[in-house]
Structure 1
Amino acid sequence: MFSKKLFVALGMLVAMLAQPVHGQDYNVDPGMWEMTYKMDVSGMPENMASMMKKEPTTKQECVTKEDISFKPEDMEEGCTFNKTSDSPSKVVWEIECETAQGSSSGHGEVNFHGTTSDGWFEMKVQAGPMGEMQMRNTFDGKRVGDC
């Protein structure tokens, strides 16, 4: 079975990138943010895909400038992360992973609009116990108040 740890790591990556990443003055206002995530999976056995296809998930989180930082050591071992474009209003990235469970690659972007944010992330698993599959995550958020 494909590593659940890799799916968790990808989810964490999406969550981190849906917020400002320290080191650049992104167009994001700190405060209480409400984020909505949706993941679609294709190319895997139907019983596994049905467990992963869920309605959008929404959560609230207090975001401060000090809270947000992306460190390469936070990545899953065997994964490399590369920002291909980085501006106050948009971050575009690529990721490559080679783990014991298989290889995968992906890309995505997040857009910052001050009090809102949106983006997407796609991951293709080229090899693994379940064969090839693809995931597409979309997310959007809005500042809903102070912390």
Structure 2
Amino acid sequence: MQTKLVMVLRDDLPAGLAVNAAAVLALSLGDELVGWLGADGKDADGNLHPGLNTHPVPILTASGGELRELHDAAPDEVRVVGFTEVARKAREYGEYLRTLEATPAAEIDYVGLVVFGPKAPVTKLTKRLALMR
């Protein structure tokens, strides 16, 4: 099965928050991407450089409303990991979990999503979104 990974960040994020959201989302999905890293390499001086991801990771943008729609519309075969305002504002993980537990789903605002799964449904969900510039 051919898979695809797309990251979608809220279009009004300042650069620092966008980079942070992208890092959190990438790390949150990392365990599921078995076999996505290339071989380690050596430079001309013999120094080892760990393998990097060999697949494209387009970073798209969407409004907060579009992020919620995308999150809610994903079919079961597509894995969606969300980074929320609840998580972004928490200072430690326990605080995040406590606040999340007290927040109704309809009140969760997404900062970004990573969407991963079979290529066709991921493309269908994200094809209308713009690349981040």
Query: Normalising to structure 1: TM-score of the pair?
Result: 0.27
Higher helix share: 2
Query: Normalising to structure 2: TM-score of the pair?
Result: 0.29
Which of structures 1 and 2 has the bigger CA Rg? 2
Which structure is higher in RCO with an 8 Å CA cutoff and minimum separation 6? 2
